[in-house]
Amino acid sequence: MKKTILFSFILVLCSYFSFAQDRETVLKVLETQRQAWNRGDIDSYMQGYWKSDSLVFVGKTAPIYGWQGTLERYKKTYPGKAAMGELTFDIIQVKILDAGNAFILGGWHLKREKDAPGGYFTLWLRKINGEWKIVCDHTS
């Protein structure tokens, strides 16, 4: 009985530390994206997304399917560094749902010369081939 309780406790503890590590890794995906954005480097920013036709990005107008379509949307909407501005995030919630899925809720803000737009986002990330990637992004 004591061995079963001890084993269960060890499993719970290992799971906790694994989820804490995953949480930090998921947040690092966003930080890497933020840094790339602020350099004006959309191609590097896109590395946080799943490079697949199954990627879903939902913005103000309609869903966009696929990594390439999402890249083209970003490049059309933000044609240069001035349009991109300086990006910051306010992370509201990070949930590691299981060993392969995470959910993030947050706010985004751009500081540009003439305006400062912002909004909210929800992200679904999956661990694919050992890396956390955004598979669905809903940004308003």
For the stretch 57-106, pLDDT in tens is 999 889 999 999 999 999 999 999 999 999 999 999 999 999 999 999 99
* Domain 2-139 indexed as CATH 3.10.450.50: yes
What's the whole-model pTM score?
Answer: 0.86
Q: Is the pLDDT assigned to residue 8 strictly greater than 80? A: no
Q: Which of 7-16, 37-46, 58-67, 84-93 has the lowest mean pLDDT?
A: 7-16
Please check whether residue 53 is in contact with residue 77, taking contact to mean a CB–CB distance below 8 angstroms: no
Kindly indicate the confidence band of residue 7, based on its pLDDT and cuts at 50, 70 and 90.
very low
- Closest to 29 (Cα-Cα) out of 140, 127, 129: 127
Average pLDDT, the chain: 91
Dihedral (C-alpha) 28, 139, 112, 88: value to the nearest 10 degrees?
Answer: -30
H-helix or E-strand containing 39?
none
In our burial notation (b when 16+ CB lie closer than 10 A, e otherwise), range 46-59 reads bebbbeeeebbbeb
Which pLDDT value is given to residue 67? 98
